[in-house]
Chains A and B, each alone.
Chain A
Amino acid sequence: MSGYSITEPSPRQKWIAGVLVIGYALVTLMPLLWILATGFKSSSDAIAYPPKVTFDLTLEGYVNLFTTQTRQTPEYLAEHPPQTWYEEIVRDKGMVIAGPSRFGERFLNSTIIGFGSTFLSVFLGTLAAYAFSRFRVPIKDDLLFFILSTRMMPPIAVAIPIFLMFRSVGLSDTHTGMILLYTAVNLSLSVWLLKGFIDEIPREYEEAALIDGYTRFQAFYKVVLPQAATGIASTAIFCLIFAWNEYAFAVLLTSGTAQTAPPFIPTIIGVGGQDWPAVAAGATIFLVPVMVFTILLRRHLLRGITFGAVRK
């Protein structure tokens, strides 16, 4: 009897798998680590060649990201000593802080639009998916195909009509407009994903609740929703990632009040030379919400991706 087993990998196999996973993680994480590091470099270290792996940590990039600065005369600088730690950083270059930058606002816009459209996509998607899964909807298959077909062309192909539509109904550069747009794009994904999850939930659970004296809505709310939590979480992550990262529509349709972070971050480059540390700092901060959201829901996400693959 050898130690061979088809269910339990041998130590050698585990070792190989471990090396592969770590190798893959290094490859994919490298750019992220580079961005993270660049955010803490000084401007000259950021563009040094050969690239510096060790460097002096500075928060210059982050200060530049969050502030606007002006150059002042040495007399002015001497008269007004720096009050705060971030002002000191700026003073080294002979600058003073003139005020906060737009980054905070843009980041807030991204948050409102990203999470708003995610909530709306998942909310509407759950209701639609439940209806498609449980009720006799006339021409159901055609409707489902129609919903899917909105995903078949790249969304940007309709950018110009949407731009004109938004302009004529006054949705250009508004939070509502962007939330509606991202919801419309995400909805087909959300309906299809969630329908799959809800199809997997046996109808008997709701029927039991109906017989136990609950209304259809109560049965949906109290029995189906907790069961669908996994699907809802993974759908929400997919929707958020799209809405959060979306660049093309954001460039086209927003310029001021509703501008999100993705079109804003590249504009940092132009302000006072190529400020790579500030760009990297912006990218780093921009990553955080999606990472936190994904980590919070990761248990669901993992189950969600493999859900339905194995009959329990």
Chain B
Amino acid sequence: MAEIVVRNLRKEFGDFTAVQSSSFKIEDGEFFMLLGPSGCGKTTTLRMLAGLELPTSGEIYIDGEEVSQKPASQRDIAFVFQMFALYPHMNVRKNLSYPLVSQGLPKNQIHEKVAEVSRILGIENILDAPVSGLSGGDRQRVALGRAIVRNPKCFLMDEPLGALDAEFRERMADELRGLHDRMGATTVYVTHDQLEAMQMGDKIVVMNHGVIEQFGTPRDIYDKPTSMFVADFIGSPPMNFLKVRGSLEVGATSIEMHHQTFGIPTLTEPFSGDMIYGVRPEHIRLSDVAPYRAEIVAAEYLGTTQIVTLRTYNGEVKARVSSADTARVGENVGLDFDGATVTLFDSQTGRAIRSELNAGVLGHG
């Protein structure tokens, strides 16, 4: 298994820049998520790691070896495609042995390997079946089997659960994560599903327009977003953005919004002008006595919690509150925000303003 280092990776297709000088490091054995909306360059990045696209510039080190201009066949990596890409004219056994045949392994060893892998994945009973008749889950397992049969340096996966239906996705996600933990293989996983990324990843890179927006653990990315894009992309419903204007000094611990004072994490840089007060829905409390008033526009019941949409002086917000709370549409309520969890953003550029909360993560930007 291997560590992967990417430096100033860049890819242009004609006039279009798909990836703009990305740099990140994937530790040995890490489950690494490339997350972003479609067209953000995450798949291109993955394909460059695989050697299916050659970068315009930059370096890729897999296990200490610079491979950026090497063809895929010489990189010793495995790739799991979204549509599985099982060889349709071969049965399951042939699909699994195909990567070994290319290495010139003797027949009995191939047989052993295939048997071993099919045992791990629980597909021994379908080894001689043609791949065309398999269910989505079995296809997925065969695709995984084809990836692990060769003991590659790392696994690259391009939305491998995207083609499965919701019910099955959950199960395969568990299987995938379990498989990863057993094998300790470095895995790079592309997805546009933030829940999947949060649920499975050790680290996440959030990309947008070919640029890495943030790189870190799921917790850091959720709690300490470095840009409005990340704050908006992660979380469902996403972070609330309240427009506010003012001037703050270093060390400020509160901000005034509509004549009320709200807490913020201690600022470590001064800022004046238009700002965004970013607060997660679960950090908003409804309170009858709070002086900052809002009108309830809608309430969605979700079982243990409910999402309440409110109209405030500074814009619309969604709060996640207990289902036990009563929230009647049209009612006027007071709002409290948990100031310690708040991130302030520069309204113009969308970047987070430095505070003691995000001091640790802004270095990576």
A residues sitting closer than 8 Å to B (CB atoms) are 202, 204-205, 207-216, 218, 223, 226-227
Which one of B74-82, B165-173, B256-264, B309-317 is at the interface? B74-82
With a cutoff of 8 Å between Cβ atoms, the chain A residues found around residue B73 in the complex are: 210-215
- CB of A227 within 8 A of CB of B88, answer yes
With a cutoff of 8 Å between Cβ atoms, the chain B residues found around residue A202 in the complex are: 83, 85
- CB of A208 within 8 A of CB of B85, answer yes
Residue of A nearest to B13 (CB): A136
- CB of B72 within 8 A of CB of A210, answer yes
In the assembled complex, the Cα of A56 lies from the Cα of B330 at a distance in Å of: 100
- CB of B81 within 8 A of CB of A207, answer yes
Which one of B18-26, B98-106, B356-364 is at the interface? B98-106
Interface of A is mostly: helix
Instruction: From B75, B77, B79, B89, give the contact of A208 (CB < 8 A).
Output: B79
- CB of B85 within 8 A of CB of A207, answer yes
Pick 18 A–B contacts, CB within 8 A, sort by A: A204-B81, A204-B83, A204-B84, A204-B85, A205-B88, A207-B81, A208-B79, A208-B81, A208-B86, A209-B98, A211-B50, A211-B52, A211-B73, A211-B75, A211-B77, A212-B98, A212-B99, A212-B102
Interface of B is mostly: loop
Known: A207-B50, A208-B146, A223-B87. 4 other contacts (CB 8 A): A204-B83, A209-B87, A211-B73, A226-B89
Shortest distance between the CB of A194 and any CB in chain B (Å): 18
**Most B C-beta atoms less than 10 A away, residue of A205, A208, A226:** A208
- CB of A208 within 8 A of CB of B87, answer yes
How many CB-defined contacts (below 8 Å) exist between A and B? 58
Asked if B122 lies at the interface with its beta carbon under 8 angstroms from chain A, I say no
Asked if B71 lies at the interface with its beta carbon under 8 angstroms from chain A, I say yes
With a cutoff of 8 Å between Cβ atoms, the chain B residues found around residue A208 in the complex are: 79, 81, 85-87, 146
- CB of A207 within 8 A of CB of B88, answer no
Closest 6 pairs (CB-CB, A-B): A204-B85, A213-B102, A212-B99, A210-B72, A208-B85, A226-B89
With a cutoff of 8 Å between Cβ atoms, the chain A residues found around residue B78 in the complex are: 211
With a cutoff of 8 Å between Cβ atoms, the chain B residues found around residue A205 in the complex are: 85, 87-88
With a cutoff of 8 Å between Cβ atoms, the chain B residues found around residue A216 in the complex are: 71
With a cutoff of 8 Å between Cβ atoms, the chain A residues found around residue B51 in the complex are: 210-211
With a cutoff of 8 Å between Cβ atoms, the chain A residues found around residue B75 in the complex are: 211
Shortest distance between the CB of B94 and any CB in chain A (Å): 11
- CB of B83 within 8 A of CB of A207, answer no
Of residues 169 to 204 in B, which have CB atoms within 8 Å of A's CB atoms? none
- CB of B89 within 8 A of CB of A207, answer no
Q: How many residues of B are counted as interface, with CB atoms below 8 angstroms from the partner's CB atoms? A: 24
With a cutoff of 8 Å between Cβ atoms, the chain A residues found around residue B77 in the complex are: 211
In the assembled complex, the Cα of A204 lies from the Cα of B83 at a distance in Å of: 8
In the assembled complex, the Cα of A19 lies from the Cα of B99 at a distance in Å of: 54
With a cutoff of 8 Å between Cβ atoms, the chain B residues found around residue A209 in the complex are: 87, 98
In the assembled complex, the Cα of A208 lies from the Cα of B51 at a distance in Å of: 11
Residue of B nearest to A210 (CB): B72
With a cutoff of 8 Å between Cβ atoms, the chain B residues found around residue A215 in the complex are: 71, 73
In the assembled complex, the Cα of A213 lies from the Cα of B71 at a distance in Å of: 9
In the assembled complex, the Cα of A214 lies from the Cα of B150 at a distance in Å of: 14
- CB of A213 within 8 A of CB of B81, answer no
Shortest distance between the CB of B19 and any CB in chain A (Å): 18
Residue of A nearest to B147 (CB): A211
Instruction: From B84, B88, B103, give the contact of A213 (CB < 8 A).
Output: B103
**Most A C-beta atoms less than 10 A away, residue of B73, B81, B83, B84:** B73
- CB of B146 within 8 A of CB of A212, answer yes
In the assembled complex, the Cα of A215 lies from the Cα of B86 at a distance in Å of: 18
With a cutoff of 8 Å between Cβ atoms, the chain B residues found around residue A211 in the complex are: 50-52, 72-73, 75, 77-79
Instruction: From B83, B84, B89, give the contact of A227 (CB < 8 A).
Output: B89
**Most A C-beta atoms less than 10 A away, residue of B75, B99, B103:** B99
In the assembled complex, the Cα of A202 lies from the Cα of B88 at a distance in Å of: 11
- CB of A210 within 8 A of CB of B71, answer yes
In the assembled complex, the Cα of A208 lies from the Cα of B143 at a distance in Å of: 10
With a cutoff of 8 Å between Cβ atoms, the chain B residues found around residue A226 in the complex are: 89
In the assembled complex, the Cα of A95 lies from the Cα of B103 at a distance in Å of: 72
With a cutoff of 8 Å between Cβ atoms, the chain A residues found around residue B71 in the complex are: 210, 215-216
With a cutoff of 8 Å between Cβ atoms, the chain B residues found around residue A214 in the complex are: 73, 102
With a cutoff of 8 Å between Cβ atoms, the chain B residues found around residue A213 in the complex are: 73, 99, 102-103, 150
In the assembled complex, the Cα of A3 lies from the Cα of B85 at a distance in Å of: 41
With a cutoff of 8 Å between Cβ atoms, the chain A residues found around residue B88 in the complex are: 205, 227
Instruction: From B52, B83, B103, B146, give the contact of A210 (CB < 8 A).
Output: B52
In the assembled complex, the Cα of A210 lies from the Cα of B50 at a distance in Å of: 10
Residue of B nearest to A205 (CB): B85
Given known contacts A223-B87, A226-B89, A227-B88, A207 and B52 CB-to-CB distance under 8 angstroms: yes
Residue of B nearest to A225 (CB): B89
With a cutoff of 8 Å between Cβ atoms, the chain A residues found around residue B81 in the complex are: 204, 207-208
In the assembled complex, the Cα of A96 lies from the Cα of B150 at a distance in Å of: 76
**Most A C-beta atoms less than 10 A away, residue of B86, B102, B103:** B102
In the assembled complex, the Cα of A218 lies from the Cα of B81 at a distance in Å of: 20
Shortest distance between the CB of B162 and any CB in chain A (Å): 13
In the assembled complex, the Cα of A215 lies from the Cα of B71 at a distance in Å of: 9
Shortest distance between the CB of A119 and any CB in chain B (Å): 22
With a cutoff of 8 Å between Cβ atoms, the chain A residues found around residue B83 in the complex are: 202, 204
With a cutoff of 8 Å between Cβ atoms, the chain B residues found around residue A207 in the complex are: 50, 52, 72, 79, 81, 85
